[in-house]
Structure 1
Amino acid sequence: MTLPLSILDLAPIAPGETARESFASSVALAQTAEKSGYRRVWYAEHHNMPSIASSATSVLIGHVAAQTSTIRLGAGGIMLPNHAPLTIAEQFGTLETLFPGRIDLGLGRAPGSDQATMHAMRRDPMSAESFPQDVVELQGYLWGESRIAGVQAVPRASTRVPLYILGSSLFGAQLAAMLGLPYAFASHFSPDALHEAVALYRREFKPADLTGDGVFSEPWVIAGANVVAAENGDDAREQLATTRRSRVRGMISRGAASPEYSDEHIDAFLTTPNGRQLANMMKYSAAGTPTEVAAFLTDFASAADADEVIVAHQSPQIAERLRSVELTADALSLAGAAV
């Protein structure tokens, strides 16, 4: 059986690039993924980050969906405490109505931003506390079983939008298991609790008392990993090193990449205790030839007890990312597989 493989598109805005160019790259990436046999492409909600273009996540999903035909597209995820459940139900009901059978909705409770940005968004600092109740309310709107008398989401699609709980801790695993929803673990940047969370989720999973579209009767685990595939393995490893330096540079600069930190500075920092802690965020990463990447992903899925792997292709340039998408799919024989 072919390993189900999906993509998390980080919608990066490269130095010197515009957001419009980033959106064009996201379209090209989704089109390439569609041709190559990937199951889905997801986009994450981030705010006030100059290097990420996916802040208006549902708008980006609609833009890409209009320029693809069959691949599933969705949020990985919408940070629900930033929004009223009814608003998200209306957005994703609209998307599913326009692109039936192709829309996913992953939900997280992190802010996707810093404290100042939370204030600018008028977010209540305590809103994450109501995340479980908000998920249930949202599910009711999307699935035609509103928990609020006299209120419904319009439009509501004729098919149910599948919901996924995202997380990087035991909280999300427990909630997904309790609600009988599939669970996606953000091990591509927060690896430490992966195995414990997946084990807890599978152990405590209770199927929802529902049938039909969007309902999973068995646990379903998606685990995240970083990938760079290239014909030359050394080239792939250097691409990943470039991306890692850029990410660390942005973190220690608290914003856009700063030229005052040279590659040598970053490499030296990565040998320090704080640097090693940041480097550990990309623990689950594969960079090499297609054969090496395919072997890593197969072993990773088995070790993580994952039903599906979602990969962030981390090549710094779009041409390299598209080639990594193709090479990884070919190595895993995705093209032509049932997805």
Structure 2
Amino acid sequence: MSADIVPISRKQSPAPSLDPMLALTAPGMNAVNAVILDRMQSEIPLIPALAGHLISGGGKRLRPMLTLAGAELVGYQGSRHYKLAASVEFIHTATLLHDDVVDGSEMRRGKTAANIIFGNPATVLVGDFLFSRSFELMTEDGSLRVLKILSGASAIIAEGEVDQLTAQRKIGTSEERYLQIIRAKTAALFAAASRIAAVVAECDDDQERALDEYGRNLGVAFQLVDDAIDYDSDAAAMGKDRGDDFREGKMTLPVILAYARGSEEERSFWRDAISGIKSSDADLDHACSLIARHGAVEDTRARARHFADRAIDALSIFPDGKARQAMTEAARFAVARGY
């Protein structure tokens, strides 16, 4: 009589989580949020109402968390990084407000976008107000190096957004051009947010470069996944309208890969879709099916993993500990997330 075969149980590794980063930075984020709440106030009631609609609407606050985590990583004991982290979040929020106007977005972070509620002119002007508040916080810090890093990142972000606008509805946009755009519009602020922690802690050049590389590669990975999610999730999960990139004619990597791998019939569809001729819900469904057929989402996420691995490798010069582990987990989460 044969013995029963008992299957060997294999524990699955838990999914990557942002929880270690949230726990690491929670005390500091309370201080950062206090600065944000204070500095978004104005005697003009529309300004805090509109800014608060987006700022209080959720979001991961990953960029200011990078400043705080970087400070923990290098053992910084001061408090300058709180205002600087708030400055980073104001830059990010201002760009979101401007983006929603440019893109005509209707949802942001699961809520009606500010431009739909308050109108485009007010949304643009409050974005300008937040940029101004950001620069006030930079100058109060008093470091010309910090000012140069953050102001430089702001200029690069604007260049990236203009570059994306000029590439819009151009089917011939290459993967190289696409990466150039996301390095500017997304990764530049991730890099600056991480790097300034090393500057305020007066770290050596190697540590400063390492934090810059961590943030820059994490930012590319983060945007790659954002672009994959647009064709791989529903609106409730994303917190924004599904298919926004498709309807706006943005040549993101899933589209670039699907177009390159497609038949002539499929390429004809993509030419019509990106030019705006085909933009219905049925067209979006067809686009998603083509992207799935050619594995474009999976390959976009694979490229994101490559950049996340580079971000993790950049941390290797720092001693192991809670901060490094949390930042490593954050990079893995950036790739694995579905929202």
For the criterion TM > 0.5, the same-fold answer is no
Where is the helix percentage greater, Structure 1 or Structure 2? 2
Give the alignment's TM-score, normalised by structure 1: 0.29
Q: TM-score, normalised by structure 2?
A: 0.29
| Structure of larger gyration radius | 2
Higher fraction of strand: 1
